Amino acid sequence: MVVSLVSGCKGTPEVRLARVSKASVEATVSSVNSGTVRAEGNTELAFGTVGRVKEVNVKLGDAVKAGQVLAQVENDDLKSRLQSMLEEYERSQRLSKSDAMSQSGVTQARASYDAAVTAYEKSLIKAPYDGIVAELNLEVGELSQITAVIPQAPIRVVDVKPRYVRAEIDEVDLPKVKVDLPARVKVLAIRKEPFAARVRKVIPFVSSTREQDRTSEIELDIDSEGLLLPAGASADIEVITETKGDVLTITSRAVLGRGRDRYVYVLEGSRLAKRPVQVGIYGYTVSEIVSGLSPSDKVVLPSDKFELTDGLRVTAPNE
């Protein structure tokens, strides 16, 4: 919006003017605080058995493949038992074919083999999917424990799928936000320019954890343009709830009042005149004026130095 400065003279206040013009305008909803970039898969991994750590095969930040063994505890006895149970199971199958063993014997051998597989697998930590090692709290030689609450994940893996953002909006904005609405997301850890996004989920629940700041959560898919956004990064979101093009607009700073009682101050000659206006889309930076103004009007911006009042004499252009 073009704004011009009008210099003061003869002791009258100086004013700034905002131009009324045709443009596009958006209604938006912003998060009440920064949202968070999240990974679809974010898994804490631990051993399923007690033992001393024998190998740690990855470093923090390593890319891993699904099924890759990331670490293991001392498990030579488990490996030997697994091999023994496999041989016994294969032997029972051969005997069964020659009627030298009953089917129940084969079933028992298979159960023993499956139990050995399970015990051995508990001594390993494997990647559940292709991903990145985001947390690593294991050292060779330390004793791995099994506890109900793990203070630190031995290994955390996040996937490499496109990220999404979860954010909180004010409860009063909940009816405005719908699935599939377009949005903009700024992830300052990557760049200042916003990424295009789209609302994928609106959670119809109002949190009252903070009594004076009740919020609802939404999730957005991001077009990250091929970049792998860092999980955990902060993200500022702006959901576009409505858009109009080629309408009469003015900077929102010039629009005063609340609800239906909105007004502006216009410059008529050398004095201010308070004029009621009807506002359509009220955006953070630009608002739609449905009635009350024309492109030729000179609208005055509020000042920190003096209060705008009806009839106030101010310095006018070309004076």
Query: Residue 316: pLDDT band by 50, 70, 90 thresholds?
Result: low
Q: Mean pLDDT for the chain? A: 90
User: Could you tell me if 49 and 67 lie in one domain?
Assistant: yes
| CA proximity to 51, closest of 75, 35, 15 | 75
User: Could you tell me if 61 and 151 lie in one domain?
Assistant: yes
Question: Is residue 56 assigned to a domain?
Answer: yes
pLDDT for residue 39: 95
pLDDT, mean of residues 103-124 = 93
User: Could you tell me if 61 and 150 lie in one domain?
Assistant: yes
Residue 291 maps to which CATH number? Answer: 2.40.420.20
252 DSSP 8-state letter: G
User: Could you tell me if 176 and 237 lie in one domain?
Assistant: yes
**Calpha distance 226→7 (Å, rounded):** 50
Query: Residue 216: pLDDT band by 50, 70, 90 thresholds?
Result: very high
pLDDT for residue 255: 95
Question: Is residue 319 assigned to a domain?
Answer: no
The predicted-structure confidence for 227-277, as pLDDT tens digits, reads as follows: 999 999 999 999 999 999 999 999 999 999 988 899 999 999 889 999 999
User: Could you tell me if 217 and 176 lie in one domain?
Assistant: yes
User: Could you tell me if 141 and 61 lie in one domain?
Assistant: yes
Confidence check: pLDDT of 7 > 50:
no
pLDDT for residue 76: 93
Question: Is residue 314 assigned to a domain?
Answer: no
Phi, psi of 162 (to 5 degrees): -55, 140
The DSSP code sequence of 29-89 is EE-SS-EEEE-S-EEEE--SS-EEEEEE---TT-EE-TT-EEEEE--HHHHHHHHHHHHHH
pLDDT for residue 3: 47
pLDDT, mean of residues 221-226 = 94
Determine the residue type at 117: V
pLDDT for residue 319: 44
User: Could you tell me if 167 and 35 lie in one domain?
Assistant: yes
pLDDT, mean of residues 133-160 = 88
As to burial, measured by CB atoms within 10 angstroms (0-12 exposed, 13-18 middle, 19+ buried), residue 41 is: middle
pLDDT, mean of residues 198-223 = 89
Identify whether the C-beta of residue 164 lies closer than 8 Å to the C-beta of residue 222.
Answer: yes
User: Could you tell me if 271 and 224 lie in one domain?
Assistant: no
Question: Is residue 312 assigned to a domain?
Answer: no
Question: Is residue 13 assigned to a domain?
Answer: yes
**Calpha distance 141→190 (Å, rounded):** 38
Query: Residue 81: pLDDT band by 50, 70, 90 thresholds?
Result: very high
Question: Is residue 315 assigned to a domain?
Answer: no
Indicate the residue among 206, 223, 242 that finishes a domain. 242
User: Could you tell me if 222 and 249 lie in one domain?
Assistant: no
- Other CB atoms within a 10 A radius of the CB of residue 105 amount to 13
Q: What is the β-pairing status of strands 195-202 and 155-159?
A: unpaired
Confidence check: pLDDT of 311 > 90:
yes
Question: Is residue 311 assigned to a domain?
Answer: no
pLDDT for residue 113: 94
Count the domains in the chain: 3
User: Could you tell me if 130 and 49 lie in one domain?
Assistant: yes
pLDDT for residue 4: 47
Question: Is residue 94 assigned to a domain?
Answer: yes
Per the structure, the complete domain to which residue 148 belongs is given by 42-159
Query: Residue 211: pLDDT band by 50, 70, 90 thresholds?
Result: low
Report CA dihedral (72, 76, 80, 81) to the nearest 10 degrees: -70
Indicate the residue among 125, 159, 193 that finishes a domain. 159
The predicted-structure confidence for 147-190, as pLDDT tens digits, reads as follows: 756 678 999 999 999 999 999 999 999 999 999 999 999 999 99
Identify whether the C-beta of residue 242 lies closer than 8 Å to the C-beta of residue 27.
Answer: yes
Q: Check: pTM over 0.85? Answer yes or no.
A: no
User: Could you tell me if 86 and 131 lie in one domain?
Assistant: yes
User: Could you tell me if 273 and 137 lie in one domain?
Assistant: no
**Calpha distance 262→284 (Å, rounded):** 15
**Calpha distance 258→246 (Å, rounded):** 25
